């Protein structure tokens, strides 16, 4: 991709990665493996720091709801966003995700502080 030179700057000091994709495009399903490999595994971030969002366009076929992703993507938290039907559900999932990231950051900071003290 033409933006690959920017990736290291995007990744610097990041605590989480949200990958949004169109589940109806086979090319997207291939690309998210690349994104996951680069932005999560190579950092390295924990799988819990990554959120996959399958975004369904208005009027799109709903049969992608039972999307089955191959390993290692199937270990990640996957939410389906359809802003026409259920925006509140998506908002709740985002809030849960952000809370988990903040908790993790706090735990890491406490661990660092303890290691400095001891």
pLDDT, one tens digit per residue, over 66-107 is 788 889 999 999 999 887 777 888 899 999 999 999 999 999
CATH architecture of the domain 11-117 equals: 3-Layer(aba) Sandwich (3.40)
Return d(Cα 72, Cα 105) in angstroms, integer.
24
Mean pLDDT of the chain: 88
Q: Which run of H or E residues covers position 102? A: helix 87-117
Average pLDDT of the residues in 3-31:
88
Q: Which pLDDT band holds residue 65 (cuts at 50, 70, 90)?
A: low
What is the end-to-end Cα distance of the chain in Å, rounded?
46
| HSE, side-chain direction, 13 A CA sphere, residue 85 | 11
Using left for φ > 0, alpha for ψ between -120 and 50, and beta otherwise, residue 13 falls in left
pLDDT at position 22 is 92
pLDDT at position 63 is 56
Average pLDDT of the residues in 31-39:
92
Return d(Cα 76, Cα 22) in angstroms, integer.
16
Compare 61 and 104 and report the one with higher pLDDT. 104
Token pair 């359809």 in the structure block, residue? 82
pLDDT at position 2 is 65
The full DSSP string for 23-64 is TT-HHHHHHHHHHHIIIIITTT--GGGEEEEEEPPTT--GGG
Q: Is the pTM of this model over 0.85?
A: no
Residue 6 has pLDDT above 90, yes or no: no
């Amino acid at each position: 991709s033409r933006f690959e030179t920017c990736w290291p700057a995007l990744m610097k000091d990041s605590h989480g990665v949200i990958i949004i994709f169109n589940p109806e495009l086979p090319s997207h399903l291939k690309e998210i493996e690349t994104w996951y490999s680069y932005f999560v595994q190579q950092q390295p971030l924990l799988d819990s720091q990554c959120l996959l969002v399958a975004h369904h366009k208005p009027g799109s076929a709903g049969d992608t709801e039972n999307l089955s992703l191959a390993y290692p993507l199937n270990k990640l938290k996957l939410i389906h966003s359809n802003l026409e039907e259920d925006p509140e559900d998506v908002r709740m999932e985002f809030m849960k995700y952000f809370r988990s990231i903040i908790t993790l950051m706090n735990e890491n900071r406490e661990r660092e502080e303890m290691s400095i003290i001891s």
